[in-house]
């Protein structure tokens, strides 16, 4: 699932393409939204909140989209002529066309295609809270409340790895930045967040904010500062390889309760030992396929 920095970059791209201009047409290919008429509505702004994208219209409505695992927004020049606007998805590259188009927002200059979106809702702007009111402080918010974030992490009985990725406690952090943040601060992911001193939680929050803020400005996410392929991270997606800091083998295990498990990469040497579910057995050779919590396979 894209992290908050990727979602923020997407919102910036959409805002640049659409804001300040009326929609020439819109096609929402989503249950219950197929008859929505947004043509002529001026786009005030496109903003992000955690992992949610909010397209706010001058008519008092907001279109909320969420990318989930495989969603994306593709921006292309608006084709000339009304006839070309009927099926704009046919004018995108083949690798994009194969992903179902769930939303088309056509402006005078640019057309934005929402591909394989995980969520799409149209609500009154005044009612946005019904969709995003549950979120914790957004790590990319200029007015970010660090004290509230620390208090949220400390509350409840979650492990710190779970808590960092719980959008109700802190919005915008996913697997990548949770893994890299915990490694950088030498914190064992399976430590109960309530057991960690407030100073440690504050350092985790500050570190995550630095990582994710830098990610907004760069096309390639990197915690190491090196954006060359294979050198971007310390532990994320590096299971079976030597730790860049201590040389021990980076490992991977699932974290969280059944049905809500997430993948956690970590170094047992730098972060205080093996995961409770990790038996320490040799990992599969690099390039082997591993199965995540969703049951879907992916290459390491």
Which listed residue (3, 162, 180, 232) is catalytic? 3
| Dist. CA 51–CA 168, nearest whole Å | 12
Q: Is 300 a catalytic residue?
A: no
51 noted as active-site residue = yes
Total number of residues shown for the chain? 300
Tokens at 93, concatenated: 């590259």
Catalytic residue from among 49, 51, 207, 251: 51
Q: Which residues of 40-62 are buried (b: 16+ CB within 10 A; e: fewer)?
A: ebebbebbbbbbbbbbbbeeebb
2 is catalytic: yes
Q: β-pairing, 110-115 with 101-106? A: antiparallel
- Tell me which of 64, 102, 238, 262 is the catalytic residue: 262
Q: Is 4 exposed, middle or buried (0-12, 13-18, 19+ CB in 10 A)?
A: buried
Does the annotation mark 3 as catalytic? yes
User: In terms of Cα–Cα distance, which of 161, 287, 99 is closest to 297?
Assistant: 287
Task: Identify any residues that bridge with 254 across adjacent strands, giving them in sequence order.
Answer: 263
Q: What amino acid positions are annotated as catalytic residues? A: 2-3, 51, 262
């Amino acid at each position: 699932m894209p992290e908050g920095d990727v979602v923020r970059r997407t919102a910036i791209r959409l805002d640049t393409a659409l804001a300040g201009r009326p929609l020439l047409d819109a096609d929402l290919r989503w249950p219950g939204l197929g008859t929505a008429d947004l043509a002529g509505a001026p786009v005030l702004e496109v903003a992000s909140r955690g992992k949610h994208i909010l397209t706010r219209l001058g008519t008092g409505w907001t279109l909320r989209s969420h990318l989930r695992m495989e969603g994306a927004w593709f921006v292309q020049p608006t084709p000339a002529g009304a006839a070309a606007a009927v099926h704009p998805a046919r004018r995108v590259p083949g690798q994009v066309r194969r992903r179902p188009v769930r939303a088309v927002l056509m402006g005078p200059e640019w057309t934005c295609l929402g591909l394989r979106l995980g969520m799409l809702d149209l609500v009154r702007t005044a009612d946005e809270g019904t969709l995003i009111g549950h979120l914790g402080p957004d790590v990319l918010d200029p007015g970010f409340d660090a004290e509230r974030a620390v208090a949220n992490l400390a509350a409840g009985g979650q492990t710190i790895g779970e808590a960092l990725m719980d959008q109700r406690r802190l919005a915008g952090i996913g697997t990548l930045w949770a893994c890299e943040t915990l490694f950088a601060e030498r914190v064992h992911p399976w430590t109960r967040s309530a057991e960690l001193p407030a100073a440690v939680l504050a350092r985790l929050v500050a570190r995550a904010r630095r990582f994710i803020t830098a990610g907004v400005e760069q096309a390639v996410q990197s915690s190491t500062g090196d954006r060359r392929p294979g050198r971007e991270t310390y532990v994320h997606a590096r299971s079976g390889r030597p730790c860049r800091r201590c040389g021990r083998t980076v490992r991977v295990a699932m974290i969280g309760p059944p049905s809500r498990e997430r993948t956690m990469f970590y170094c047992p040497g730098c972060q205080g030992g093996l995961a409770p579910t990790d038996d320490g057995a040799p990992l599969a050779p690099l390039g082997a396929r591993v199965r995540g919590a969703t049951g879907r396979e992916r290459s390491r």
